[in-house]
Amino acid sequence: MSKYLQWTWSLALAVMTLVVVTAGVQAQTPEGTVITNTATATYTDANGNSYTPVTGSVSVTVGFQAGVTVTANTPSPTPASPSTGDTLNYSVANSGNGTDSVLISENISVAGVITVTGYRYSSTTYPSLPLLNAALAATAVTQGGSITIKVVYDVASNKGGVNTVYTLTAASRRTPATTDSKASSITPAQTYAVSVTPHGGQNLQRLPGNAYSFSFTVQNNGNGSDNFDLLGSSPGSAVITIVSVNGVSGDSTRITLAAGASQSIAVVYNVANVAAGSTDTLDLNGRSVGQPSTVDQGFLDLTVVKPNLTLTKAAYLDDGVTLVSGTVVPGQIIRYRVTVTNAGSTSASSVQVTDALPAQVTYVSTSSSTGWSVSVSGQNVTADYTGTGAVLAASASATFELRVSIN
């Protein structure tokens, strides 16, 4: 082998050894390490005479390479809403090759869900990020070392199911462009509750008729937005027929309510022409879509009412006091007293009395007719009730008198 080939083979073996050693190293070479590389050349002459080996060396010093690794130890918390003193745990490791310190920043994706109240490092809780960073500026983290930061936060009311992402970023103070970030996805646990009011006690009275309306109040008492299925029903006798719920034809609809919000729901219904005193209830059931087992029912009590008129007629002498008890004679004036009584449970309107006078009498005049408008055409008398707004209240009576002469 020539001296040139022998020297080349020795250098190749040295390079291979260096590559193998380098490939087995896991951690970064520490900052400040001096790396010395020495190469040796051996050789002979053409007659095989050996000569003293020669060497050459070179040294390099390892500089600083920043490295930061953040770990979110509570990546997906589900705190209560509202709640206080919840924490997010982060580890910040120095993955560079020398001692460093870090600067912390943060980002919250959706405002109003959480409020950060402090930052706990070591045994101290700092009320603000600048105060935390001031403490961390004096904290040297050695190569491979780490620190733990706990972010303390409160959750606002009525934020169940509302997601926000908290991102913590750590930056090398020696090389600020070197950063790492990790996020925690915070979704406060949602609770479900619904209230439908009123719960009866109205004793509502209605005449037979159509297009009545009653308003219920549906309230979301949970801590997050929810959809609610509303179903109207009438479980009693066939008195009530539901026409629409919240403007939607039929007996059901769906609404969406934010946490704590309420909505007035109009239920339009008809009342059948059934006997006075018939009763029924109009129910409105509210059911959470998010948690179908969460329900509430509001209802009204309804009684069918009707007016019920009775009419009595009596004959008095012309003094208006003495009842006719015996016979009457031609030319004698008597009084027909007409009394209308509303014996029903509600007022009567458009009350009209018609009276066909016998041929044996002649109409003379009307008396005691306050609240009546009386007209006479021949033997036919028509009396319209005009008192109290032309409405005869329940249990009320109205009277007028017709003076007639016996033919």
Domain boundaries, the chain: 3-61, 68-186, 194-304, 309-406
CATH of the domain spanning 194-304, picked from 2.60.40.10, 3.40.50.720, 3.40.50.880, 3.40.50.300: 2.60.40.10
Is 68-186's fold the same as 309-406's? Answer: yes
> What is the tens place of the pLDDT at every residue in 114-146?
999 999 999 999 999 999 999 999 999 999 999
Q: For residue 27, what are the β-bridge partners?
A: none
Q: What is the rounded CA–CA span in Å between residue 102 and residue 133?
A: 8
Rounded to the nearest 10°, the torsion over CA 106, 107, 113, 116 is: 10
Q: What is the rounded CA–CA span in Å between residue 97 and residue 30?
A: 5
pLDDT given for residue 25 in this prediction? 43
Instruction: Please determine, looking at this structure, whether the domain spanning 68-186 carries the CATH number 2.60.40.10.
Output: yes
> What is the tens place of the pLDDT at every residue in 6-22?
433 343 333 333 333 34
pLDDT given for residue 209 in this prediction? 97
Q: What is the CATH number of domain 309-406?
A: 2.60.40.290
pLDDT given for residue 238 in this prediction? 85
pLDDT given for residue 18 in this prediction? 37
Q: Which two tokens stand for residue 317?
A: 């002498």
Q: What is the rounded CA–CA span in Å between residue 16 and residue 232?
A: 86
User: Is the pTM above the cut of 0.85?
Assistant: no
The residues of the chain scoring below 70 in pLDDT are 1-26, 236-237
